[in-house]
């Protein structure tokens, strides 16, 4: 029950109905992250869109200025020069048919991001049903199907995150770790929010940003003012 007590203590520091300024909300988020590990701080944004309509999908990628604090394991599926480029760029695993077969036959998923070149997409398509549900399928929109392997690997390692509205019209995205402190988290928050606002679909009517909440892995949600 120790964790429950910590959570209750954290809740006492927050006024449930209050909307906080960004800096104050993130400072509280850091203060209420009481777990023994370095908790992830997440941003949750409720949008005024209907995700059932293709023209109201909101998704994109952005490189957070201070990264995510997570060590990302990058797999590159490529051949020849592009495979060499991936190795030089610092990809953790590089392969082609061998890797595809390993995923197919061994259910191997020891990586966080998969990047590939356009010429390999036919082959990668064979494992789309396996990678897709896990959110690991390379996609041109997220910059993971590209000829510029060096940039793709560097961006991911630097803290590139993908944001995507879910079925309930909410975007959930990490903006860093508790150890970053409120200032660095605020820089990441601003970068991500700017990207989400820019991605507003032309067909979205009414209020676009409905609710903003920040929370640590084990901590309570803190409402943020929509300025």
- The helix (run of H) or strand (run of E) holding residue 194 is helix 181-198
Decide if 58 contacts 165 (C-beta within 8 A). yes
Quick count: other Cβ atoms within 10 Å of Cβ 5?
10
Output the DSSP codes for 46-110: EES--TTSGGG--EEEEE-TT--SPPPPEEEE--HHHHHHHHHHT-SEEESHHHHHHHHHH----
CA dist 183 and 208 (Å) reads: 26
Q: By the 8 A CB rule, do 177 and 40 touch?
A: yes
Taking residues 153-164, report their average pLDDT. 91
Q: What is the pLDDT of residue 46?
A: 96
At 13 the pLDDT is 66
Mean pLDDT over 83-88 rounds to 96
For 24-40, what is each residue's pLDDT tens digit? 999 999 998 888 899 99
pLDDT of amino acid 15: 76
Identify the pLDDT of residue 11: 63
Handedness of CA 69, 71, 77, 79 (dihedral sign): positive
11-20 long-range contacts, CB within 8 A, separation 24+: 11/220, 14/220, 14/222, 18/223, 19/223, 19/224, 19/225, 19/226, 20/222, 20/223, 20/224, 20/225
pLDDT tops 90 at residue 226: no
Residues 90-109 have pLDDT tens digits of: 999 999 999 999 999 998 99
Q: How far apart are CA 94 and CA 173, in angstroms?
A: 27
**111 secondary structure, DSSP code:** -
CB contact set of 185 (below 8 Å; sequence gap of 6+) = 26, 29, 30, 41, 66, 175, 176
**Nearest Cα residue to 30 out of 182, 218, 224, 173:** 182
Does the pLDDT at position 1 exceed 50?
no
């Amino acid at each position: 029950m120790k964790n429950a007590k910590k959570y209750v203590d954290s809740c006492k520091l927050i006024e449930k109905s209050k909307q906080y300024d960004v800096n104050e909300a993130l400072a509280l988020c850091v203060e209420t992250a009481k777990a023994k590990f370095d908790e992830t701080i997440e941003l949750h944004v409720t949008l005024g869109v209907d995700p059932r309509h293709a023209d109201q999908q909101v998704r994109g990628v952005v490189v957070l200025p201070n990264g995510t604090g997570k060590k990302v394991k990058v797999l590159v599926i490529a051949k020849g020069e592009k495979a060499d480029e991936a190795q030089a760029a610092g990809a953790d695993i590089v392969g082609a048919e061998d890797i595809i077969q390993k995923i197919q036959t061994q259910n191997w998923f020891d990586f966080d991001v998969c990047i590939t070149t356009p010429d390999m997409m036919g082959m990668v398509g064979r494992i789309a049903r396996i990678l897709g549900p896990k959110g690991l399928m390379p996609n041109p929109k997220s910059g993971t199907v590209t000829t510029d392997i060096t940039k793709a690997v560097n961006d991911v390692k630097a803290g590139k995150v993908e944001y995507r509205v879910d079925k309930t019209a909410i975007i959930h995205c990490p903006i860093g770790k508790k150890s970053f402190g409120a200032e660095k988290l605020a820089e990441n928050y601003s970068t991500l929010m700017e990207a989400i606002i820019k991605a507003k679909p032309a067909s979205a009517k009414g209020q676009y940003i409905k609710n903003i909440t920040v929370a640590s892995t084990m901590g309570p949600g803190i409402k943020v003012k929509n300025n």
